Each structure stands twice: as C-alpha cells, then as structure tokens.
DNA sequence: AGCCAGGCTAAGA
DNA sequence: TCTTAGCATGGC
C-alpha cells in the first residue's frame, strides 16, 4: 500500500490547550504518544499527528481531514471557554480547572462512540478496519457498520468483547437496517436522544450518556461511574445511601447546570489523576 | 492477584 | 416486585 502523504497545518487557538489531559483522560481511545512527544491518532477516521507549539496546534493530517475538522474535533473555537464560563462557582471544580485548565472535551464521531462502549476499539479496528500507513506508522480505521455487521460472533469475540459481542452486532444491524442514524442523535434534544439510545440492547444509562457526551456534544449528559460516585460521596452527597443514577443526574443538572457533562469530565479526570479533591485551589 | 465493572437475564427473596 | 448472581474479559 502506498503511504499516505501528510498535509501540515498550524492552527491558532485561544486559551490553554492541554493535549496530554485532553487525549489521555479516558474520553478518546485511539491516540498514542510517539517517541518525539507528538500524538498519533485518528480524527473522523483519518490519521493525524499533533503537538502544541505555543498558541498553535501543529498538525500533520491525511488528505481529506481538513484543518476546519481538526479545529472542530479539538474544540479550538469559543465553545470551550463558553462552557467553562457557565460552570457554577464551585470549589471542587475550581481545583480541577486550576490543575487542568487546558482539558477540552473532544467532539468525536457518534458511530465510533456508540460502539466504543466498553468495546475494544483498537481490536475491532485491527480486525476489520482498513489499514493506513501514515508517516511511518500503521493505523487501522474504525470499521463501518456494514463491515461490523458482517463479522461472525467468533470474530467479534476474538477482539476481547466477550458476551458483549452481540451488543456490537445489534447496534451495527440497527444502523445497517436504517433504524438508527448515529449522526441524528446529535440533532435530537438530549432527552430524546437518551431515550433512543436506551432502546438499544446493551445500552444502559451510563453508556447512553457517554455516547451523548463524548460523541454527540450533549453537555447535559452526565455519565456517572464509580469515580464520579466516589467523588460525589466525598463531596456533595456524603451521607445516606449511595445515590442511584437518576438522583445523581438530577443533582448534577441542578448543581452544575447545562454543561454538567463538561464539568463531569473535569471532576472525573481530576479524581483519577490527582486523587481526592481539595476544596481549595491546587 | 483478586475484585469489579456495565448491561442483561434468570433465579431468589 | 425488588434484589442479586453470573456472564467474558480486561483493567486497576
């Protein structure tokens, strides 16, 4: 296969951009650090190498991945600052913002987010994705629904999916049959999109909210896992029984507002990377 | 090195 | 009707 040429760009941006926190905080699964300190991954299924140079994001991208799309993916527009500006005056959030001011919520592809629910993204890509040779590295694109739907159960399981293989197959079938259009989830309002996702076999509230937050830019989505629950119990909800999913999200909307999900990612990352949150600025 | 995820289902209280 | 174990596998 012919190596794919790279197109270079330097994208200027406002405010801080912390690629390390942004790419490796558990919201994206397709990036890796190169020996020279840059990061290699795929954006909208096209290979890309990035690093920050002052107030510019320097990129090498496959043709077809335009600078505008890279800006969109990394949220190099004002929407990052806007979301932060709407955060409540909150001591815990302030700690996380002080420590990781350049952590940005990525805008990833709905289809990939949908299947990445606990699926092995890398495994599925290696198994069924088109290989790409880019700047001396080999990557694999994430397979389209049509491709995943044609895989056998044994093939899906070979990627480490285990009994979740049938969930992946089910979602792929839904898309192929035209009953589900991942891109439309971003255009529905949050509640409608949440309900639609919950109808899918293998998608519960946590997974639905992850898809909506990381793949559809729905900031109302507040996925709560063990880290978020732990954080909440250490801070706002210390007594009583462990709150269930519904109670947590209602608390989140009331306390964090319309960008609760964006705040969630800050708290999630801080709790995992640093430890128990201090109520004072770090 | 063992526990636990996340969603579903079947079995138990 | 509500709660709980088990599922296949990998990550902490």
Q: Which nucleotide is nearest to A199 (CA to C1')?
A: B7
Say how far A199 CA is from C6 C1', in Å.
23
pLDDT at A277 over 60: no
- Count other Cβ atoms within 10 Å, centred on residue A278: 13
Q: Nucleotides of chain C within 7 Å of a protein C-beta?
A: 7-10
Contacts 24+ apart (CB under 8 A), A83-88: A83/A219, A83/A259, A83/A262, A84/A262, A86/A257, A86/A258, A86/A259, A87/A256, A87/A257, A87/A259, A87/A262, A87/A263, A88/A255, A88/A256, A88/A257
Say how far A229 CA is from B5 C1', in Å.
14
Q: Supply the pLDDT for residue A240.
A: 72
Q: Is the pTM of this model over 0.85?
A: yes
Please answer whether residues A117 and A111 qualify as being in contact, where contact means their C-beta atoms are separated by less than 8 angstroms.
Answer: no
Res. A280 pLDDT band, cuts 50 70 90: very low
Residue A4 β-bridge partners: A134
Mean residue pLDDT of chain A comes to 91
Query: pLDDT (tens digit, 9 = 90+) per residue, A116-150?
Result: 866 789 999 999 999 999 999 999 999 999 999 99
Taking C1' of C10 and every protein CA, the nearest residue is A160
Q: Supply the pLDDT for residue A239.
A: 73
Query: pLDDT (tens digit, 9 = 90+) per residue, A216-240?
Result: 999 999 998 887 887 888 888 877 7
Q: Which nucleotide is nearest to A159 (CA to C1')?
A: C9
């Amino acid at each position: 296969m012919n190596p794919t040429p790279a197109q270079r760009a330097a994208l200027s941006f406002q405010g801080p951009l912390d690629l390390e926190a942004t790419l490796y905080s558990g919201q994206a699964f397709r990036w890796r650090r190169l020996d020279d300190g840059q990061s290699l991954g795929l954006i909208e299924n096209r290979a890309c190498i990035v690093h920050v140079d002052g107030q510019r994001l320097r990129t090498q991208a496959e043709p077809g991945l335009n600078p505008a799309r890279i800006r969109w993916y990394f949220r190099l527009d004002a929407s990052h600052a806007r979301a932060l500006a709407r955060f409540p005056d909150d001591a815990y959030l302030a700690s996380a913002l002080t420590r990781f001011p350049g952590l940005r919520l990525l805008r990833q592809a709905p289809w990939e987010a949908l299947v990445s629910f606990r699926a092995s993204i890398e495994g599925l890509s290696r198994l069924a994705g088109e290989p790409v040779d880019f700047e001396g590295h080999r990557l694999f694109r994430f397979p389209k629904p049509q491709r995943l739907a044609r895989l056998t159960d044994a093939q899906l399981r070979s990627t480490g999916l285990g009994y979740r293989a049938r969930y992946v197959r089910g979602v792929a079938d839904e898309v192929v049959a035209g009953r589900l259009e991942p891109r439309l989830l971003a255009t529905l309002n949050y509640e409608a999109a949440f309900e639609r996702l919950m109808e899918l076999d293998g998608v519960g509230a946590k997974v639905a909210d992850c898809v909506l937050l990381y793949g559809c830019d729905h900031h109302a989505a507040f996925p709560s896992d063990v880290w978020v629950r732990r954080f909440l119990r250490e801070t706002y909800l210390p007594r009583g029984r462990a709150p269930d999913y519904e109670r947590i999200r209602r608390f989140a909307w009331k306390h964090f507002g319309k960008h609760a999900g964006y705040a969630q990612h800050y708290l999630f990352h801080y709790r995992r990377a640093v430890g128990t949150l201090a109520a004072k600025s770090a």
